[in-house]
Structure 1
Amino acid sequence: MTAFPQTIHFIGTNTPRRMELSLRNLPVEGQIPADVEGAFFRAVPDNAHAPMFDDDIALNHDGMIARFNFDKGAVDFDIRYVETERYLAEKQARRALFGRYRNPFTDDPSVEGVDRTVANTTPVWHAGRLFMTKEDGRGYEVNPHTLATVGKWDYEGKLRSQTFTAHPRVDAQTGELFFFGYEAGGLCDPNVAYCIADKDGNLVKEQWFEQPYLSTIHDFVITEKYAIFPIFPTLADLDRLKAGGAHWAHHQDKPSYIGIMPRYGDVSEMKWIEGPVGVSCFHEVNAYEDGDLVHIDLCLTNSNAFAFMREAGGVHIDQRELQGALTRWTLDMSKADPQIAERPLGPPGDLCRLADADQGRPYNRAWYLSMNPQAKGPPMLGGPVGANFNALLRIEPGNGRLTMMEVPPGAGISEPAHIPSATPGHGGWLVMVIDVPNSPNPADYSSEVWVVEADAVENGPVARVKTGLPLRSQVHGAWVSRERLDASVHH
């Protein structure tokens, strides 16, 4: 193909932008709080080339690392491609060489054996290093000051797993990074690698276990005692891939599972607990212990949220008909055979955010994106599932108290990042990109960064940073303080 297809994956905020650029001193309306000193990194899929197939999807697009640098009230913006093996091979050829999403059997023969990952899902900061991650490969290290790609990261050759999750968890108190990789041994391998890196970034533990079926394990959670792997019935199949088909197909008739083990223990201690049939979840908010009870809070839907994953499994549910809720699953670990007790916590939504200090511990609030039931007109087109969220919710899971931040009519919100405050008793700040329409044309919008008081989201932004550009949708983002940036490996 020489032109981009006009499907949901290439229009609206998914319109290919294909620009590497740097802008200094963006206009700011309002006042940037003194606490907001550092960098907001974003993972942005954006094709460098028109795809080989017209049913290509946004998750298959080249990774770009974007940065909003907050420097004493001034804000600069930079965006660069992550120079993966795949990106460099296609750059040299000046065309797409890699075929369908996570299906190497559809690639141009010239790139056989070249690493296929696009590193487009999550910026991860740990032990003075920045990584761009996507769960089908290892992370790529990026210099946080120049955004230059350093190279693939394998813990100095110690990591055996061929994959690294886009959702590791950092324990803020110990500084350790807990992570995993599924399909650890390669395409459609049933093994999952469970790993721990210490506060200095050394890989100290890697153990492999088999999951009950070959599913996409997008996220996981830790508590002070446990590592927890919620898995859902969206399955890979090697024969289907060899026939040129989809990597993932959702099975509405199969159960979900929770795998739970002591976080410093051995994988032989893993307990598998069967959960509801047909459900799906891509992101967990948090998990924590309350005596013998383990609570797992997750963004649950009654089927897979991605239409292409549902349809590959013969599940035909309109996107607007999906049901879901922010849901709490509770396990009583004093029982020999714990079962999942379920209760709803809040409205449906996704792209949840927690204060870093609360990771794996009891917490009193979180934030996530949802749809505003009072919004005028349809949602903004784009994003990984084709429609952007238009409400930011703050929830107190203990009492169910809910507050909402609204956006201008037709605007879309990307996942926020939380910034702690130096002021005792202050709940900190959220930063996020808001795409605001300029006209009815879905590609005509302007992207802004909003800074919002984390515990008063209903008040809207205290500052708006104007880019004057329509930026491509992000997947996930990360906040890194100036202190951490100054202490980075590459400074």
Structure 2
Amino acid sequence: MASYPQTIHFIGTNTPRRVEMSLRNLEVEGDIPAEIEGAFFRAVPDNAHAPMFEDDIALNHDGMIARFNFEGGAVDFDIRYVETERYKLEKKARRALFGRYRNPFTDDPSVEGADRTVANTTPVWHAGRLFMTKEDGRGYEVNPHSLETVGRWDYEGKLRSQTFTAHPRIDPVTGEMFFFGYEAGGLCDPNVAYCIADKDGNLVKEQWFEQPYISSIHDFVITEKYAIFPIFPTLTDLDRLKAGGHHWAHDQSKPSYIGIMPRYGDVSEMVWVEGPVGVSCFHEVNAYDDGDLVHIDLCLSDTNAFSFMREAGGIQRDQQDIKGALTRWTLDMSKDQPELSERPLGPPGDLCRLADKDQGRPYNHAWYLSMNPEAKGPPMLGGPVGANFNALLRVEVGNGRVSMMEVPPGCAISEPAHVPSSEEGHGGWLLTVIDIPNGPPGGNPADYASEVWVVEADAVEKGPVAKVKTGLALRSQVHGTWVSRAKLDASKVR
């Protein structure tokens, strides 16, 4: 194509920006708390070239790594492309060479066999290294100081899996990183690789197992005892790919599953528990052990939230008609064959955030994004599903109490990052990007300004204590992460 299509994946906060830049001393309104010292990294899809196909999607766009650097009350901004093999090949050709999302049969013949990942989903920090990840390939290491791409990461040749999840889980006590890769052996491979890296970043274990069907396993969870793989019926098919079709198609008739095994055990110990039919989830909040019970808290919906995945499976549902809730699934592991019980915890939503210290352990509260039922005017267009969230929720999982931070009409809010506090009893801070229309809501969807709001994590209803104004319309992020100054100063790459 000679130009970008005017579909939902290329307008609003999905408008291509294609700019690498550095800005110092952004305008700050209010006072940034002194303990916010470090960097807020964001994964930003932004395709460098017009796509090969009119129906291209935001998940298929080149990855950029963005950074808000907080230092002594001042804030700088930097953004650069992740120089994946795919990005460099297309940069040299000055045009798109890779076709549909995760379908190599639609690529230009000149790039056959090349690494297709765009590394556009999650910045991951572990053992002094920063990685940009996307679940269809291995991660790419990035210099956290210059944002230059170091290269593809395979644990010095030890990792066999061809893929690496965008959602590893890091134990806050041991420092180990638990991760997986599905389609581990290549396109449409049923194998999942389950891996552990120690606190120093060494790959110490990799085991493969087959899932019940070849599905999109976007996220998983750990507890102190278990590794848990929720499986949902969004399926791939090699014949469909060879015919030029979509990688994923949701099957509303199939059950979901939970695969659960001892987290230090052997994959032969995996127990599969059947769950509800047709449901979908992309992000789990947390899981933890409660005696013989295992609680798994997840952002559940009654079908797939992505319209292109639904429609590929023949499901015609308007986005606003999808039902869901923050939901707790519980397994009783004292039974020979555990059964799944379910109860709601909070309103529907996604892009959840947990304090790092609570990972895999009993916890009181978490944060996630939702739609404000009392919002005036339509939501801002953009984001992975075409409409951005406009409310930040804090939920107390024990009693169901929910508090909400509202944003002005027509604004969008991105997934927050959590900054812990050194003050005893203080819940820390949240950093989140807010996109604010420059005109009335519903006007030009590409005309907006982006700000970083600093919010007290346990008092989100009070709104921001500080706003960092970029003066720019930033492209929608997928996920982000906070890295403290102490960790940055001890990074392996300088």
Would you say same fold, with TM above 0.5? Answer: yes
Post-superposition Cα deviations, 1:83-141, rounded to whole Å, max 9, x if no partner, equal 00000000000000000000000000000011000000000000000000000000000
Instruction: Write the letter of the residue equivalent to 2:445.
Output: P
Relative to the length of structure 1, the TM-score reads 1.00
The residue aligned with 2:415 is 415
Instruction: Write the letter of the residue equivalent to 2:223.
Output: T
Return the alpha-carbon distance in structure 1 between the equivalents of residues 210 and 10 of structure 2.
36
The residue aligned with 1:224 is 224
The residue aligned with 2:398 is 398
Find the residue that maps to 2:208 and give its secondary structure: strand
CA shift for structure 1 position 464: 0.2
Off by >2 Å, runs of 4+ in structure 1:
none
1:321 paired with 2:321, answer yes
Unaligned 5+ segments in structure 2 are: none
Instruction: Write the letter of the residue equivalent to 1:169.
Output: R
Equivalent in 467, 470, 474 of residue 473 of structure 2: 470
Return the alpha-carbon distance in structure 1 between the equivalents of residues 477 and 210 of structure 2.
32
The residue aligned with 2:278 is 278
1:447 paired with 2:450, answer yes
Instruction: Write the letter of the residue equivalent to 2:459.
Output: A
The residue aligned with 2:197 is 197
Aligned length: 491
Return the alpha-carbon distance in structure 1 between the equivalents of residues 425 and 313 of structure 2.
49
Task: Give 1:218-297 correspondences, 5 Å limit.
Answer: 218-297=218-297
The residue aligned with 1:88 is 88
The residue aligned with 1:385 is 385
Return the alpha-carbon distance in structure 1 between the equivalents of residues 323 and 379 of structure 2.
17
CA shift for structure 1 position 35: 1.5
Instruction: Write the letter of the residue equivalent to 2:42.
Output: R
Unaligned 5+ segments in structure 1 are: none
Return the alpha-carbon distance in structure 1 between the equivalents of residues 408 and 315 of structure 2.
34
The residue aligned with 1:432 is 432
Return the alpha-carbon distance in structure 2 between the equivalents of residues 192 and 340 of structure 1.
22
Find the residue that maps to 2:338 and give its secondary structure: coil
Post-superposition Cα deviations, 1:360-382, rounded to whole Å, max 9, x if no partner, equal 00000000000000000010000
Task: Give 1:25-424 correspondences, 5 Å limit.
Answer: 25-424=25-424
Instruction: Write the letter of the residue equivalent to 1:68.
Output: F
CA shift for structure 1 position 351: 0.1
Return the alpha-carbon distance in structure 1 between the equivalents of residues 38 and 296 of structure 2.
31
Q: Using the aligned pairs only, state the percent identity.
A: 85
CA shift for structure 1 position 34: 1.0
Post-superposition Cα deviations, 1:216-267, rounded to whole Å, max 9, x if no partner, equal 0000000000000001000000000000000000000000000000000000
Return the alpha-carbon distance in structure 2 between the equivalents of residues 457 and 36 of structure 1.
17
Find the residue that maps to 1:193 and give its secondary structure: strand
Return the alpha-carbon distance in structure 1 between the equivalents of residues 178 and 449 of structure 2.
37
Return the alpha-carbon distance in structure 1 between the equivalents of residues 243 and 348 of structure 2.
36
Find the residue that maps to 2:10 and give its secondary structure: coil
- Over the aligned positions, Cα root-mean-square deviation in angstroms equals 0.3
Relative to the length of structure 2, the TM-score reads 0.99
Return the alpha-carbon distance in structure 1 between the equivalents of residues 478 and 216 of structure 2.
17
Return the alpha-carbon distance in structure 1 between the equivalents of residues 284 and 416 of structure 2.
15
Instruction: Write the letter of the residue equivalent to 1:413.
Output: I
Post-superposition Cα deviations, 1:267-312, rounded to whole Å, max 9, x if no partner, equal 0000000000000000000000110000000000000000000000
Find the residue that maps to 2:9 and give its secondary structure: coil
Post-superposition Cα deviations, 1:425-457, rounded to whole Å, max 9, x if no partner, equal 111000010000002110000000000000000
Instruction: Write the letter of the residue equivalent to 1:392.
Output: L
